[in-house]
Structure 1
Amino acid sequence: MHPTRTIADVMTRGAHTLKPDDSVILAAQTMDELDIGAVPVCDGEQLVGLVTDRDIVLRAVAKNRLNDSVRLRDVMSHEVLWCYEDEPVDDVLDDMVQRQIRRLPVMDRQKKLVGIVSLGDVAAKTQNSGIAGALGEISLPAAPARRRPNVPRSGEYELPEVVNADLAEVNLGRS
Structure 2
Amino acid sequence: MIVQHVMSRDVRTVTPEATIREAARIMADADVGALPVAAGDRLAGMVTDRDIAIRAVAVGKGPETTVGEVMTHDVLYCHEDEDVHHVSDNMGEMQVRRLPVVDVEKRLVGIVSLADIALAVNAEEAGEALEGIARPGGERSQSIDGRA
Q: What TM-score, normalized to structure 2?
A: 0.89
By how many angstroms is 1:133 displaced? 2.4
Aligned residues: 137
Q: Does 1:89 align with 2:73?
A: no
Q: Comparing both chains, which one has the higher relative contact order based on Cα–Cα distances under 8 Å and sequence gaps of 6 or more?
A: 2
Residue matched to 2:144: none
Q: 2:15 aligns with which of 2, 19, 23?
A: 19
> What does the per-residue CA deviation read over 1:98-140, in whole Å, with 9 as the maximum and x for residues that have no partner?
1111100000001110010010110111135222122122113
What is the rounded CA distance, in whole Å, between the counterparts of 1:133 and 1:6 in structure 2?
18
> What does the per-residue CA deviation read over 1:18-73, in whole Å, with 9 as the maximum and x for residues that have no partner?
111000000011111111000001011010010001100011110110222x1110
Contact 2:44 2:73 in 1 (8 A): yes
What is the rounded CA distance, in whole Å, between the counterparts of 1:22 and 1:99 in structure 2?
27
Aligned amino acid, residue 2 of structure 2: T
Q: Which runs of 5+ in 2 are unaligned?
A: 138-148
Aligned CA RMSD, in angstroms, stands at: 1.1
Q: Does 1:105 align with 2:116?
A: no
What is the rounded CA distance, in whole Å, between the counterparts of 2:27 and 2:55 in structure 1?
16
Which runs of 4 or more aligned residues in structure 1 lie more than 6 Å from their structure 2 counterparts after TM superposition? Answer: none
What is the rounded CA distance, in whole Å, between the counterparts of 2:58 and 2:122 in structure 1?
39
What is the rounded CA distance, in whole Å, between the counterparts of 2:126 and 2:52 in structure 1?
27
Residue matched to 2:136: 141
What is the rounded CA distance, in whole Å, between the counterparts of 1:133 and 1:141 in structure 2?
15
| Aligned residue runs from structure 1 range 54-65, under 5 A | 54-65=50-61
Q: Percent of aligned positions with the same letter in both sequences?
A: 44
Aligned amino acid, residue 33 of structure 2: G
